[in-house]
């Protein structure tokens, strides 16, 4: 099993990523930490709770509330893309299952308890991760591997032309993380990985969701809004960057190719704010991350299909 913490701004595919964390046979999810990103902070917490509930795992994995705004910038939402992130789903929980301990302290504590053994998957802006670095430098050595969803290595952004959402929202945090000295960072990009290897056409999507399980119905509910948005801007299908990122940690064979790069995030310019400069290792710069160059779309799709076929009993 793979022990890890999932740092998330829960909406749409973050929910699917959490499902992998809860239900994949290789996953040993120690905690869910929440960071400001996609939609309103309270709604994100509710989205995470509703995801655990759909899996019948409410209370099984602790949820820790983290930084509710970026380090220096005003929070930018992606509600135009995701709506409320779960298609209007609403459950009033009798117990919240949210821990008192702050997400940053949970990240520090869990990784320090078993140095070099617990990985972190960051699928939102990097505010919690950067704050953990700033609060206790030992964090950098204590984390086994850091998997990051963010940036582009092919020119195309999704928030401004130059930048992908997670790095755009908190570019300073992203730059702190990439220059902190983590030994094993893996980056799953928006372009090309998400757009080419983790985008499911509407026909594939309908086939996936056409199952009589709680999870398939939940999947459709949380992903419909984003699929409609994607098609309105010329992206042909439902995008799954966050679940692909978790899946690559759990099943490394999904990564068909990755290379060492020097990654830096633009913080100075407004025009290119959050741009990920990825310099090939042959350039005379110290490489600091593996950037995934190709992922196995077919194998990922099969895993998603198997995940949504699982029978679960919601807690509430
Ligand atoms: C990333 O931004 C968010 O909208 C998604 O959850 C994903 O983590 C894609 O740019
Ligand atoms: Ca996300």
pLDDT digits (tens, 9 = 90+) for 48-78: 999 999 999 999 999 999 999 999 999 999 9
**Separation of CA 146 and ligand 1 centre (Å):** 17
**Separation of CA 242 and ligand 2 centre (Å):** 6
Q: Which of 8, 12, 149 to mutate to test the pocket of ligand 1 (most atoms within 8 A of CB)?
A: 149
Please determine, for residue 280, whether its predicted confidence score (pLDDT) is greater than 90: no
Helices 214-232/202-209 angle, 10° precision: 160
pTM, two decimals, is 0.98
**3-class SS string, the chain:** CEEEEEEECCCCHHHHHHHHHHHCCCEEEEEEEECCCCCCHHHHHHHHHHHHHHCCCCCCCCEEECCCCCCCCCCCCCHHHHCCCCCCCCCCCCCCCECCCCHHHHHHHHHHHCCCCEEEEECCCCHHHHHHHHHCCHHHHHEEEEEEECCECCCCCCCECCECHHHHHCHHHHHHHHCCCCCCEEEECCECHHHHHCEECHHHHHHHHCCCCHHHHHHHHHHHHHHHHHHHCCCCCEECHHHHHHHHHHCHHHEEEEEEEEEEECCCCCCCCCCEEEEECCCCCCCCEEEEEEECHHHHHHHHHHHHHCCCCCCC
**Separation of CA 284 and ligand 1 centre (Å):** 31
Please determine, for residue 202, whether its predicted confidence score (pLDDT) is greater than 90: yes
Ligand that lies nearest to the alpha carbon of residue 199, given by its number in the listed order: 1
158 Cα nearest atom in ligand 1: 10
164 Cα nearest atom in ligand 1: 10
Looking at ligand 1, which residue's alpha carbon is closest to its atom 9? 165
Ligand 1 site: residues with CB under 6 angstroms? 13-14, 38, 78, 81, 123-124, 149, 158, 164-166, 190, 241-242
Please determine, for residue 97, whether its predicted confidence score (pLDDT) is greater than 90: no
pLDDT of residue 95: 81
Mean pLDDT on 199-210:
97
Over the stretch 167-188, which tens digit does the pLDDT of each residue have?
Answer: 999 999 999 999 999 999 999 9
Over the stretch 229-278, which tens digit does the pLDDT of each residue have?
Answer: 999 999 999 999 999 999 999 999 999 999 999 999 999 999 999 999 99
Ligand that lies nearest to the alpha carbon of residue 83, given by its number in the listed order: 1
pLDDT of residue 221: 97
The residue ranking higher by pLDDT, 97 or 296, is 296
Please determine, for residue 24, whether its predicted confidence score (pLDDT) is greater than 90: yes
Give residue 82's pLDDT band: very low, low, confident or very high (50, 70, 90).
Answer: very high
What's the ipTM? 0.98
Q: Which of 7, 8, 9 to mutate to test the pocket of ligand 1 (most atoms within 8 A of CB)?
A: 9
pLDDT of residue 268: 97
Ligand that lies nearest to the alpha carbon of residue 12, given by its number in the listed order: 1
* Token couple for 92: 């009033």
| Mean pLDDT for all residues in the chain | 97
Mean pLDDT on 1-27:
98
Mean pLDDT on 140-157:
96
Residues contacting 194, CB < 8 A, separation 6+: 188, 239, 240, 241, 244
Question: CA angle, 229 as apex, 228 and 235 as ends, to 5°?
Answer: 95
- Is the N-terminal amide bond of 192 cis, ω within 30° of 0? yes
**Separation of CA 163 and ligand 1 centre (Å):** 11
Q: Which of 8, 10, 12, 37 to mutate to test the pocket of ligand 1 (most atoms within 8 A of CB)?
A: 37
pLDDT of residue 128: 99
Please determine, for residue 96, whether its predicted confidence score (pLDDT) is greater than 80: no
Mean pLDDT on 155-160:
93
**Separation of CA 51 and ligand 2 centre (Å):** 14
pLDDT of residue 121: 99
123 Cα nearest atom in ligand 1: 8
pLDDT of residue 8: 99
78 Cα nearest atom in ligand 1: 4
**Separation of CA 207 and ligand 1 centre (Å):** 23
Q: Which of 86, 166, 226 to mutate to test the pocket of ligand 1 (most atoms within 8 A of CB)?
A: 166
* Token couple for 18: 């959490």
pLDDT of residue 245: 99
């Amino acid at each position: 099993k793979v022990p890890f913490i999932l740092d998330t701004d829960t909406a749409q595919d973050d929910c699917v990523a959490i499902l992998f964390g809860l239900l994949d046979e290789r996953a040993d999810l120690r905690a869910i930490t929440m960071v400001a990103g996609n939609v309103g902070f309270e709604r994100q917490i509710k989205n995470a709770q509703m995801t655990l509930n759909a899996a019948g795992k409410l209370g099984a994995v602790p949820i820790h509330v983290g930084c509710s705004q970026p380090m220096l910038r005003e929070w930018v939402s992606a509600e135009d893309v995701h709506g409320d992130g779960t298609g209007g789903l609403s459950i009033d929980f009798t117990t919240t299952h949210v821990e008192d301990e702050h997400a940053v302290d949970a990240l520090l504590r869990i990784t320090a308890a078993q140095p070099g053994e617990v990985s972190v998957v960051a699928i939102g802006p990097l505010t919690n991760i950067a704050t953990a670095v700033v609060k206790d430098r030992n964090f950098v050595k204590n984390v086994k591997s850091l998997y990051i969803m963010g940036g582009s290595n092919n020119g195309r952004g999704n928030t401004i032309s130059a930048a992908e959402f997670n790095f755009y929202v908190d570019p300073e945090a992203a730059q702190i993380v990439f220059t902190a000295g983590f030994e094993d960072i893996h980056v799953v990009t928006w372009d090309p990985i998400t757009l080419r290897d983790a985008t499911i056409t509407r026909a594939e999507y309908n086939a996936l969701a056409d199952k009589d399980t709680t999870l398939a119905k939940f999947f459709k509910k949380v992903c419909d809004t984003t699929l409609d948005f994607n098609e309105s801007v010329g992206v042909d299908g439902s995008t799954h960057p966050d679940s692909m990122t978790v899946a690559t940690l759990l099943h490394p064979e999904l990564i068909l190719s990755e290379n060492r790069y020097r990654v830096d995030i633009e913080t100075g310019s407004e025009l290119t704010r959050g741009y990920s400069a990825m310099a090939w290792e042959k350039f005379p710069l110290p490489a600091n991350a593996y950037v995934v160059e190709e992922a196995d779309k077919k194998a990922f799709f099969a895993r998603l299909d198997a995940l949504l076929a699982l029978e679960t009993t919601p807690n509430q």
